[in-house]
Structure 1
Amino acid sequence: MSEEQFTNWSMGILLTGLIIFMGFIIYDLGKKSNAGKTGMIALFIVLGFGVVGFVFKNVLVEFILLK
């Protein structure tokens, strides 16, 4: 396995784990602050926008580089 292959695999696996962990952190933050249903939805939308933006940026970069 080359270094490039290892980097691609590890980035995919570790970033997926990080995104799942960030979802748990957002959930825990809402639970500890007694945010309720509406507050929890707002937390996931607002704080989840950063994760969605990061993933979307990577998809766009890959799409542009493939052309």
Structure 2
Amino acid sequence: MDQWLSDYGVTLGVGALITFMIFIVWDLAKRSNAGKFGTIMLYVGLAMGIFGFLIKVIITWLLENAGV
């Protein structure tokens, strides 16, 4: 029970933080007058972090199911 709760709690918690970070990046771009290119670059940086988290989840799942 505890393992299930911690696995899904981390996944849901990070998902909630990512959603909040999307709002933060939007607000930062708006307040700093970043323009179209600057806003895109801010979101690219955020997307790289999200992609890294997803890759970690996928690699962990593959290693657990590969019998390693």
Which of the five TM-score ranges fits, normalised by the shorter chain? 0.7 to 0.9
- Give the Cα separation in 2 of the matches to 1:57 and 1:9: 14
Percent of residue pairs identical: 33
Regions of 4+ moved over 2 Å = none
Residue equivalent to 1:19: 18
Q: Give the structure-2-normalised TM-score.
A: 0.78
Q: Give 1:33 deviation, angstroms.
A: 0.8
Residue equivalent to 2:58: 59
Question: Size of the alignment, in residue pairs?
Answer: 66
Residue equivalent to 1:36: 35
Unaligned ranges ≥5, structure 1 = none
